[in-house]
Amino acid sequence: MTTAFYTHADCKRHEMGSWHPESPERLQAIEDQLIASRIDSLLEFREAPVADEKDLARVHTQDAIYRIRENCPGINSECQHFPLDADTLLNAYTWRAALRAAGAAIAATDAVIAGELDNAFCSVRPPGHHATPREAMGFCMFNNVAVAAKHAMEVHGLQRVVIVDFDVHHGNGTEEAFRDDPRVLMVSFFQHPFYPYTGTDRPAANMINLPIPAHSYGDVVRQAITEKWLPALHQHQPEMIFISAGFDAHKEDDMGQMGLVEADYSWITRQIMTIARQYSRGRIVSCLEGGYNLSALGRSVVAHIKVLAELD
């Protein structure tokens, strides 16, 4: 198995204030944990290229792209941050980081479809799954997974793809990008009721949205996945699988109130691997979304990657 790890130093230059939980240290925590667990030498490290604006435009409006490109403060600007909303801010490096984040997902998609890689994990930020076609929100600028899935369909001609989202929050941006697109099946679970308070009111037919009450543990999630995701995944027979890999449902993560542990992330990843082997020639591109307890994030990403790389 060849599993690639895509990242770029630019993704650590985007920051939204020292108070902000979506911090550059998240990527460092992941890299440290890869080294500590001695799996770093077993992965293929690749630098994330920048995405083109035309890649972003497959999902996002020109206005949404323009708002991020034109509002990043200058490097020597007195005002370091430009707020798009209360907790989604631009600094001097956000545009570049956002292009790298989407660029990683696109490059990983190209390499996996070309057969150079079996699968890939994109350790990137800003995250993407709350970014709608029209606006950045919830720490997200561009919807990295949505941009990559559109690329797979429109450039490589794939007819059926799956997006799996296991972040503690509902991926409202991804749902908006693909609502009623019969080529795409999106399966997710999320704490409910919870930010962004979407996903339960008339979800589109191609969405398997599983709202889960706060304080639920992995057994509840595993049962819901077994009963609701797996039959739909078998039915859709995806040619490729994209993962919005958020780790904020971890029990040590205060952003959410759920009780998942590393073994649950391993189990979920194994279910996805089984589907990918059966229908998709193993093709998976996984992109980092949330996960804010640095220790739990690093350990959970390692658990996820170990399964992708067949080391566990």
Catalytic center residues: 130
Edge to edge, what strands does the sheet with 119-122 contain?
44-47, 3-7, 119-122, 284-288, 240-245, 161-165, 184-191, 207-212
* Nearest distance, CB of residue 290 and Zn ion, angstroms: 3
* Nearest distance, CB of residue 167 and Zn ion, angstroms: 4
* Nearest distance, CB of residue 245 and Zn ion, angstroms: 10
Please list every residue from 248 through 267 that binds Zn ion, using CB under 5 A: 248
Which residue has tokens 């979800």?
203
**Using CB under 5 A, which of the segments 23-31, 238-246, 273-281, 296-304 binds Zn ion?**
238-246
Task: Please select the residue that binds Zn ion; options are 167, 176, 239, 262, rule is CB under 5 A.
Answer: 167
**Residue 24 interacts with Zn ion (CB under 5 A): yes or no:** no
Task: Please select the residue that binds Zn ion; options are 12, 67, 150, 169, rule is CB under 5 A.
Answer: 169
* Nearest distance, CB of residue 128 and Zn ion, angstroms: 11
How many residues bind Zn ion, per CB under 5 A? Answer: 5
Dist CA 72 CA 273 (whole Å): 39
Nearer to Zn ion, 26 or 46 (CB): 26
Angle between the N-to-C axes of helices 62-71 and 94-113, in degrees from 0 to 180, rounded to the nearest 10: 130
Dist CA 1 CA 194 (whole Å): 38
Q: DSSP secondary structure string, 165-230?
A: E-SSS--HHHHHHHTT-TTEEEEEEEESS-TT--SSSS--TTEEEEEE-TT-BHHHHHHHIIIIIH
Cβ pair 134, 161 in contact under 8 A = no
Triad 173, 20, 95: Cα angle to 5°: 55
* Nearest distance, CB of residue 84 and Zn ion, angstroms: 17
**Residue 290 interacts with Zn ion (CB under 5 A): yes or no:** yes
Given CA atoms 213, 232, 148, 285 in this order, what sign does their dihedral have?
positive
**Using CB under 5 A, which of the segments 64-72, 79-87, 227-235, 287-295 binds Zn ion?**
287-295
What string marks each residue from 190 to 229 as x (binds Zn ion by CB under 5 A) or -? ----------------------------------------
- The residues that touch Zn ion, with contacts defined as CB under 5 A, are 167, 169, 246, 248, 290
